[in-house]
Structure 1
Amino acid sequence: MNSNQGIGEAFTSLGLVGLFSILVTILSILLAWYLLQELKLDTWFKHPRGPRARVLIAVLAVILGHQFARFILDYWSWTNMLKLI
């Protein structure tokens, strides 16, 4: 195996890890969005279906989804490191 093939395989592997991370993050944000739809916003907003409430839900979904995805990806990384023991 020449060095160019090794480098190409490394880049492919890194690209797949990046793609996996993006997909996990997007799916986590979508899951958070779906779950946050159950919040009763009547007590916080005069217009719970208005644009301000929707922006709040979107921001919360991104924050919570990203944190959840980070946990999943960290856990996945740690379990892969355990294989090296």
Structure 2
Amino acid sequence: MTSDLGLEAFIHILLNLLGLVIAWWALQSFRFDLFVKNPKSTQATVLKVLVAITLGHLLARFFIEYAQAVRYLPYLF
């Protein structure tokens, strides 16, 4: 039981990191210079990191909740 929880926590961490990497990669094609005053500033970089963390977390939550829903499908019948 405890090892199952540890494995699940490990998977959640991996999915969050994978979501962060995918979000950061996708944001590289986004033109932040159209929306911020100085795109090379520290503030713009922090904004980009925060947006990547937020998008990565949302992406990871989607996959985690989808996997949980699939696991509960057998209880439907």
TM-score (norm 1): 0.82
Deviation at 1:79, TM superposition (A): 0.1
Describe how 1:36-47 pairs up with structure 2 within 5 A. 36-47=27-38
| 3-state SS, counterpart of residue 71 of structure 1 | helix
Deviation at 1:37, TM superposition (A): 1.3
Aligned-residue identity in percent: 33
| 3-state SS, counterpart of residue 47 of structure 1 | coil
Name stretches of at least 5 consecutive residues in structure 1 with no aligned partner. Answer: 1-9
Name stretches of at least 5 consecutive residues in structure 2 with no aligned partner. Answer: none
Deviation at 1:33, TM superposition (A): 0.9
Measure, in 2, the Cα distance between the counterparts of 1:49 and 1:83: 51
TM-score (norm 2): 0.89
Give the greater-gyration-radius structure (CA): 1
Measure, in 2, the Cα distance between the counterparts of 1:83 and 1:32: 32
Count matched residues: 76
